[in-house]
């Protein structure tokens, strides 16, 4: 087993299959789609319309609408959970691009609405309010587009960080699904009234293909693949164990789990068919390496989904979506590794420590916890220290007021806690702000950026 893992890691470090070529081509491919849209606008008379004020405003409005629609499709694809993209980039990077592209698309959509209304109003000599009403009431598909726009406005507003902090995860997740409704309702007006669609068969082919391909990918990756894996592996709860105050491990059993393409360090989106709220998925990492018929996740009882796990009964079926995440052995490039965890963030790192090959003294775990009872898996971690030579150091204490990743009163730099850490791979998991503090400390200790591995799960 160790030989296979080492071989896979060498191939990843040498640029083999695990080091996917997607990062080199995806960016140019997405930029090319925007270039194609601009080219079709120009070849369809977009530049000629710039000769007068009214026609120019309308023409620029068409362009902003087309680019907005293209970016909207890219945004949906980035979060369609396409396996090859997840492996190449990781969900945290995809989510960051999704947010930036999403806000850009939204801004261009608003510009499209304003410019088209102004341009039409000047051409037809109508007031802006009258022209806006005429567009919605009398143009084919525009009423649907108005509803779709309202859905996209709702999604965008609730995606602003200040708004997200005021919402429960479950509420935000439900509201975010309206993005699919918005995309679907906006489509008809483009195809029925857009000049770039009505007069150009090639443009119609491009946009129909783009919308159809995007819908197909979403259906396959968000519905089809999860449904197939759920039915095939029939994962259900075996038993639940209390690990610490408010933290529970769910032990699961299933069929042919050795054929499930999951690694230690990854996570699934879980739905437990235990009653109300089952339709809302929650991301939980594996806290032990996957077995041929067993899985284990460990969950902090936070939010409706987290609190419900304590009452799961044996035999409760689980719907799975995934696996996701790049916090795996394939990221490893150095012989020595340092794992740094906080709270329940130790779960994927604990699984990695069991799966990774290393000699005694080559692996270190720094585990940050507020109090001794909050330390998870102490017996298991102590066993790994005794049997495999993992250097385990528990960093227990109250949170420092200066934003340090260490407890109050600790002033040691990372390279003092782990001598020679600059030559290590550093895997980090915990709260997002805390992980960023650890990453800064690792860089200050001389660790190369490509050897600092973390994933953010903030919604």
DSSP string, 226-271: HHHHHHHH--EEEEEEEEETTEEEEEEE-SSGGGS---TT-EEEEE
Pick from 233, 275, 224: which is nearest to 252 by CA?
233
Residue 316: CB atoms within 10 Å: 20
Torsion of CA 241, 247, 252, 257, to 10 degrees: -140
Reduced to 3 states (helix: H, G, I; strand: E, B; else coil), residue 429 is: strand
pLDDT of residue 10: 35
pLDDT of residue 354: 94
pLDDT of residue 93: 80
Angle, CA 421 vertex, CA 418 and CA 424 arms, to 5°: 130
Region 329-454: CATH code: 3.40.50.80
pLDDT of residue 12: 37
Angle, CA 306 vertex, CA 338 and CA 322 arms, to 5°: 65
Angle, CA 176 vertex, CA 170 and CA 178 arms, to 5°: 125
CA dist 212 and 198 (Å) reads 18
Pick from 419, 452, 458, 248: which is nearest to 340 by CA?
452
* Count of residues in the chain: 459
Q: How far is CA 181 from the centre of its chain?
A: 20
Q: How far is CA 337 from the centre of its chain?
A: 25
Contact (CB, 8 A) for 350 and 438: no
**Segment (H or E) for 166:** none
CA dist 385 and 363 (Å) reads 9
| 261 Cβ contact partners less than 8 Å away, ≥ 6 residues apart | 323
Its pTM surpasses 0.85: no
Structure tokens at 254: 């299933």
CA dist 233 and 260 (Å) reads 8
Torsion of CA 212, 213, 214, 217, to 10 degrees: 120
- Whether domain 234-324 has CATH 2.40.30.10: yes
pLDDT of residue 320: 94
Contact (CB, 8 A) for 191 and 203: no
314 — phi, psi (to 5°)? -55, 135
CA dist 116 and 125 (Å) reads 14
pLDDT of residue 333: 92
**Segment (H or E) for 297:** strand 294-300
Pick from 438, 452, 443: which is nearest to 332 by CA?
452
Reduced to 3 states (helix: H, G, I; strand: E, B; else coil), residue 320 is: strand
CA dist 42 and 36 (Å) reads 10
Pick from 142, 117, 110: which is nearest to 54 by CA?
117
Q: Could you say which residues of the chain have pLDDT below 50?
A: 1-19, 459
CA dist 268 and 337 (Å) reads 25
Task: Lay out the sheet containing 247-253: strands in order across.
Answer: 236-244, 247-253, 294-300
Give strand pairing partners of 240.
Answer: 250
CA dist 221 and 324 (Å) reads 12
Torsion of CA 170, 176, 180, 186, to 10 degrees: 150
Residue ranges of the domains in the chain? Answer: 17-229, 234-324, 329-454
């Amino acid at each position: 087993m160790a030989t296979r893992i080492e071989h896979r890691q060498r191939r990843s470090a040498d640029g083999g299959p695990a080091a996917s070529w997607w990062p080199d081509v995806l960016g140019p491919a997405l930029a090319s789609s925007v270039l194609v849209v601009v080219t079709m606008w120009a070849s369809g008379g977009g530049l000629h319309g710039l000769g007068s004020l009214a026609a120019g405003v309308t023409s620029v409005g068409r362009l902003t609408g087309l680019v907005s629609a293209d970016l909207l499709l890219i945004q949906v694809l980035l979060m369609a959970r396409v396996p090859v993209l997840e492996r190449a980039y990781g969900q945290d990077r995809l989510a960051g691009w999704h947010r930036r592209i999403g806000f850009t698309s939204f801004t261009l959509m608003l510009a499209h609405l304003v410019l088209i209304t102004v341009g039409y109003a000047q051409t037809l000599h109508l007031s802006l309010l009258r022209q806006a009403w005429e567009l919605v009431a009398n143009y084919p598909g525009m009423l649907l587009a108005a509803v779709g726009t309202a859905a996209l406005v709702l999604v965008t507003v609730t995606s602003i960080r200040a708004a997200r902090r005021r919402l429960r995860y479950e509420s935000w997740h439900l509201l975010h699904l309206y993005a699919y409704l918005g995309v679907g309702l906006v489509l008809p007006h483009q195809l029925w009234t857009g000049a770039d669609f009505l007069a150009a068969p090639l443009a119609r082919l491009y946009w129909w293909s783009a919308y159809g391909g995007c819908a197909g990918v979403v259906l396959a990756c968000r519905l089809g693949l999860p449904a197939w894996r759920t039915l095939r592996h029939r994962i259900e709860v075996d038993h639940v164990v209390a690990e610490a105050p408010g933290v529970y491990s769910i032990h699961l059993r299933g069929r042919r789990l050795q054929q499930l393409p999951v690694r230690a360090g990854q996570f699934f989106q879980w739905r437990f068919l235990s009653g109300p709220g089952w339709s809302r998925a929650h991301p939980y990492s594996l806290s032990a390496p996957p077995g041929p018929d067993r899985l284990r996740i460990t969950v902090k009882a936070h939010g409706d989904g987290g609190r419900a796990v304590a009452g799961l009964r044996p035999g409760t079926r689980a719907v799975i979506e995934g696996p996701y995440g790049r916090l795996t052995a394939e990221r490893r490039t150095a012989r020595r590794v340092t794992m740094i965890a906080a709270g329940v963030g130790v779960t994927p790192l604990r699984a990695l420590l069991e799966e990774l090959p290393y000699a005694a003294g080559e692996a270190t775990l720094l585990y940050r916890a507020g109090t001794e009872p909050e330390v998870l898996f102490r017996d298991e971690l102590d066993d790994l220290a005794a049997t495999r030579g993992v250097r385990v150091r528990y960093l227990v204490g109250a949170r420092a007021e200066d934003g340090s990743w260490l407890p109050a009163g600790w002033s040691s730099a990372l390279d003092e806690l782990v001598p020679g850490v600059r030559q290590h791979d550093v895997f980090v998991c915990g709260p997002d702000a805390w992980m960023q503090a650890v990453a800064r400390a690792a860089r200050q200790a001389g660790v190369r950026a490509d050897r600092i591995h973390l994933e953010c799960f903030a919604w």
